[in-house]
Amino acid sequence: MVIALIFALIVIFSILFHFLSPWWFTPIASNWRYIDDTIIITFWITGVVFTAVVLFMSYCVYRFRHQEGRQAAYEPENRKLEWWLAIVTAFGVAAMLTPGLFVWSQFVTVPREATEFEVVGQQWQWSFRLPGKEGQLGTSDARFVSPDNPLGLNPDDPSGQDNIVIIGDDLHLPVGKPVKVLLRSIDVVHDFYVPEFRAKMDLMPGLVTHFWFTPTRTGTFEILCAGFCGIGHPQMRGNVVVDNEADYQAWLQKQQTFAQLSAPKKQ
């Protein structure tokens, strides 16, 4: 009796916790609202299943608990019931998977007009690189890394010279424009994660990975590292500032290019 009640209370407690707890997504700041929607659909479906299964279980525990003279039924199987349950489950799964795959196909198709920029990870800080006037990111390799050239840009690649390099400072992005983020690491695996943007992606040494999003509101957002990268992992922070167009251009003017950064040292 009490035992059945406790199992039922677990369900009730869980539902109350879900609706009443103050811990929930941070307000979104990108176009990936669909991801949140898919999560909510999933919450509803799984929540119903959890409630149904556990309440049914606690009912059975109450109703069929051992009492003097009770004998269990002999019921090896019930094909019809089992098939029905399997089919209903398959539909429930499909109801979660289908929207998920649609959103994923958006996630993997980068819009043509997206502008590129590069995020470079190293133990334990974020750096950024934007294409310059010519709109091209030059080549790079961990081999070229030196104190003057912390991002390892290829010094002999002309298309890299005008690239804007941001080290130890905030990244700015214009609001409302899709961006394609290229991710590169010069040491270990990191993961570029801004909770408000929902999207995240690993920085895999040896490869350049990517994802895209559109910032939808202005403000300053924290960048975390979500790929364990050694002792400094929790300290690997940064900021993205989403500006309106005018502020963004003003900021852009003040940034230095790769050529400017390495020039004085060369003399």
Partner 1 sequence: MTDVTVRADDAIPAAEVEDVELYHPKSWVTKYVYCQDAKVIAIQYSLTAMAIGLVALVLSWLMRLQLAFPGSFSFIAPTDYYQFITMHGMIMVIYLLTALFLGGFGNYLIPLMVGARDMVFPYVNMLSYWIYLLAVLVLVASFFAPGGPTGAGWTLYPPQAILSGTPGRDWGIILMLASLILFIIGFTMGGLNYVVTVLQARTRGMTLMRMPLTVWGIFTATVMALLAFPALFAACVMMLFDRLLGTSFFMPSVVELGSYLQYGGGSPILWQHLFWFFGHPEVYIVALPAFGIVSDLISTHARKNIFGYRMMVWAIVAIGALSFVVWAHHMYVSGMDPNFGFFFATTTLIIAVPTAIKVYNWVLTLWRGDIHLTVPMLFALGFIVTFVNGGLTGLFLGNVVVDVPLSATMFVVAHFHMVMGVAPLLVIFGGIYHWYPKITGRMLNDRLGKFHFWITFLGAYAIFFPMHYLGLLGVPRRYYELGEMAFIPPSAATLNIFITAAALTVGAAQLVFFFNLAWSLFRGKLAGSNPWHATTLEWQTPQTPPAHGNWGKELPIVYRWAYDYSVPGAAQDFVPQNQPAATGAAA
Partner 2 sequence: MSAILIFLAVIAGIVFWWLSQQRLMAKPWLEEGPTGGFPATAPSSLPAAKIGLGVFLAVVGSLFSLLISAYFMRLSIAQLTRTDTGLLPTPNLLWLNTGVLVLSSVALHWAQVAARRGEMDNVRAGLLLGGVSAFTFLAGQLMVWQQLSAAGYFLASNPANSFFYLITGVHGLHVAGGLVALGRTGAKAWRGIAAVRLRLSVELCAMYWHFLLLVWLILFSLLTGWAGDFVDVCRALLT
Interface ranges with partner 2 (CB under 8 A)? 76-77, 206-207
Q: Closest distance between Cu ion and the C-beta of residue 190, in Å?
A: 5
225 binds Cu ion (CB under 5 A): yes
Beta carbon nearer to Cu ion, 129 or 190: 190
Q: Closest distance between partner 1 and the C-beta of residue 253, in Å?
A: 28
Beta carbon nearer to partner 1, 208 or 263: 208
How would DSSP label each residue in 96-109? HHHHHHHHHHHHHS
In the DSSP assignment, the letter for residue 153 is: B
Q: What b/e sequence results for 241-255 when a residue is b if at least 16 CB atoms lie within 10 Å of its CB, and e otherwise?
A: bbbeeeebeebeeee
Closest CA to 210 of 100, 105, 116, 101: 116
Cis peptide before 83 (omega within 30 of 0): no
Give the HSE-up count for residue 254: Cα atoms under 13 Å, Cβ half-sphere. Answer: 9
Q: Are the C-beta atoms of residues 211 and 199 closer than 8 Å to each other?
A: yes
- Two tokens, residue 17: 């916790």
CA distance 78 to 80: 6
114 binds, among partner 1, partner 2, Cu ion, none (CB under 5 to 8 A by kind): none
Beta carbon nearer to Cu ion, 161 or 185: 185
What amino acid is encoded at 92 in this protein? Answer: G
- Name the segment binding Cu ion (CB under 5 A); options: 46-54, 109-117, 185-193, 212-220: 185-193
Give the residue carrying structure tokens 């002792």.
231
16 binds, among partner 2, partner 1, Cu ion, none (CB under 5 to 8 A by kind): none
How would DSSP label each residue in 91-150? HHHHHHHHHHHHHHHHHHS--TTPEEEEEEEETTEEEEEE--TT--PPPB-GGG-BTTBT
Beta carbon nearer to partner 1, 38 or 161: 38
Q: Closest distance between partner 1 and the C-beta of residue 122, in Å?
A: 7
Beta carbon nearer to partner 1, 56 or 249: 56
Q: Closest distance between partner 1 and the C-beta of residue 36, in Å?
A: 8
104 binds, among Cu ion, partner 1, partner 2, none (CB under 5 to 8 A by kind): partner 1
Q: Closest distance between partner 1 and the C-beta of residue 266, in Å?
A: 20
Beta carbon nearer to partner 2, 68 or 75: 75
Beta carbon nearer to Cu ion, 29 or 229: 229
Q: Closest distance between partner 1 and the C-beta of residue 2, in Å?
A: 10
233 binds Cu ion (CB under 5 A): yes
166 binds Cu ion (CB under 5 A): no
CA distance 95 to 240: 35
Give the residue carrying structure tokens 């990268």.
229
Footprint of Cu ion (CB under 5 A): 190, 225, 229, 233, 236
